[in-house]
Amino acid sequence: MKIYQHTVHYYETDKMGIVHHSNYVRWMEEARVDFLAQIGWAFEKLEANGVISPVNAVACEYKNSSRFADVISIAVAIEECGGVRLKLKYTMTNAQGVLICEARSEHCFMTPQGKLLRLKKDLPGFYEALTSAQ
């Protein structure tokens, strides 16, 4: 699996020149979308299959600062792929290999009408792709 790369933009920094903490959650989404595309289930494919994926929880542990023009590598790993929940872990490091942030997100999968989907039963191809990537 290819690790996602994000180059820090100037607008992502605060007055002190450090990346504002809220941007890490955006980067998690970028990396998650890339990860799903790599396993053959881009968001467009999920949506074409009538699937939406709300975020149930997010947690970030900030270990070191990042700054403008830093290249941040974001490794995405599946922590848990259950019947209705997907838990992902994100490890963010800079070009020197310094740990910047460890984060997690939890997602469920639903129809646009709000019906909760069971991955193994309702989306077997997606479930198989996730478990193969685990």
Domains and CATH numbers, the chain: 4-133 (3.10.129.10)
Name the CA dihedral angle for 43, 3, 91, 132, rounded to a multiple of 10 degrees. 60
Look at residue 82 in the predicted model and tell me its pLDDT.
86
pLDDT of the chain, 134 residues: tens digit per residue: 899 999 999 999 999 999 999 999 999 999 999 999 999 999 999 999 999 999 999 999 999 999 999 999 999 999 999 889 999 999 999 999 999 999 999 999 999 999 999 999 999 999 999 999 98
pLDDT value of position 83: 83
> What confidence score (pLDDT) does residue 48 get?
94
pLDDT value for 106:
98
> Which ranges of the chain would DSSP assign to H, the alpha helix?
23-38, 43-48, 119-122, 124-133
Q: What is the pLDDT of residue 111?
A: 94
SS3 73: strand
Give the pLDDT confidence score for residue 36 in this predicted structure: 97
- For 111, residues 6+ apart whose C-beta sits below 8 A from its C-beta are 50, 51, 52, 117
